Amino acid sequence: MPFDPGGAEPLVGAVRGFRWWRLTGSWLNSPWRGDVRWTREDNVASCLGRRWLLHWKQHVVPHDRGIPESDCSCGFYGMLQAPADGVDSPGCWPLNPSLSGGPIALVFGVVRGTGRILLGQYGWRAEHARVDSLYVPQTRTLSDPLASAAESYGAPIYRDLIALCGERGPDPLTMDLAQSA
């Protein structure tokens, strides 16, 4: 159930969450929605439509309150908990962070969301987003394209998942608000 910010006081700053990207050359792309390339600065969401039985259906009427909208799938997402070995988790989290930076070209990391944000129990969707940091396990060799992408996005690469979660993961205020959502 998403948090409805209708009567809430605005918060200053960004929320942080975990997500996946797909590495293409030295660019990060959205892994599930086609070839949506993330810019190296502020990314601004647009409505790509609703998911309906494995297909995306374009909205005909614009959202009255802006993006993201609670009855749509638009906006950039961030999850509030990193997936862990042997733990069932919601959404796209069956992927283990140990896959990050490997041959399937998926990269795990932290995203910062700003602007209009819908907060739910497991994560959030935001109007604006920026790559914050990336994760590649110590068991993987860091590829040159990934190192180049990290540098160009200004995103440090963490080799320790616990350190990434502790230093860059969601802050306590976001977690408290999500628990009440």
- Residue 68: per-residue pLDDT: 80
Q: Is residue 46 predicted with pLDDT exceeding 90?
A: no
Per-residue pLDDT at 181 exceeds 50: yes
Confidence of residue 11 (pLDDT cuts 50, 70, 90): low
**Which segment, 38-47, 84-93, 133-142, is predicted with the most confidence on average?**
133-142
Which of the pair, 91 or 167, is modelled with greater confidence?
167
What pTM did the predictor assign? Answer: 0.83
The residue-averaged pLDDT of 113-138 equals 92
Q: Give pLDDT, residue 56.
A: 52
Averaging pLDDT over each range in 14-23, 26-35, 65-74, 113-122, which range is the top one? 14-23
Decide: 18 and 91 in contact? Cβ < 8 Å: no
- Of the ranges 7-11, 14-18, 47-51, 176-180, the best mean pLDDT one: 14-18
**pLDDT band at residue 33 under the 50/70/90 scheme:** low
